[in-house]
């Protein structure tokens, strides 16, 4: 059982605190499932959606949240790496445009 809760590589899945539930990046979750995974209240999920802290799509009047969005919330290091890559790409594009 200890192996289930040990930290795994974030590239594939991330185990949720002390359970065998994993957040899969390409899976689609409801707000209720997201609430349970993040261990927050319904009002907190609604507030996060309203403020844009969690990106979601509305399907049939209900929000659907991708697993990678949940992973972004629970693992800020992933977001920092993505931001760093974005900044590097932006600098390269600016150099190309200036040379043109």
Report how many domains make up the chain. 1
DSSP for 22-63 reads EE-TT-EEEHHHHHHHHT--HHHHHHHHHHTSS--EEETTEE
In this prediction, residue 13 carries a pLDDT of: 52
Q: Which CATH number fits the domain that encloses residue 53?
A: 1.10.1660
Phi, psi of 23 (to 5 degrees): -95, 115
* Span 4-63, pLDDT tens digits: 444 444 444 555 444 557 889 899 999 999 999 999 999 999 999 998 888 999 999 999
* Span 69-85, pLDDT tens digits: 998 888 877 667 778 88
In this prediction, residue 18 carries a pLDDT of: 45
Domain holding 30, by residue range, is 2-6+15-75
User: In this model, does residue 64 exceed pLDDT 90?
Assistant: yes
Phi, psi of 92 (to 5 degrees): -65, -40
Check residues 77 and 99 and name the one with the higher pLDDT: 99
């Amino acid at each position: 059982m200890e192996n289930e809760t040990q930290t795994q590589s974030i590239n594939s899945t991330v185990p949720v605190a002390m359970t065998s539930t994993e957040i899969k990046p390409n899976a689609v979750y409801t707000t209720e499932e997201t609430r349970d995974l993040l261990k927050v209240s319904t009002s907190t999920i609604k507030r996060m959606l309203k403020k844009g802290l969690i990106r979601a799509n509305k399907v049939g009047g209900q929000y659907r949240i991708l697993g990678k969005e949940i992973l972004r919330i629970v693992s800020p290091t992933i977001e920092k790496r993505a931001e760093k890559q974005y900044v590097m790409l932006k600098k390269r594009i600016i150099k190309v445009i200036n040379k043109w």
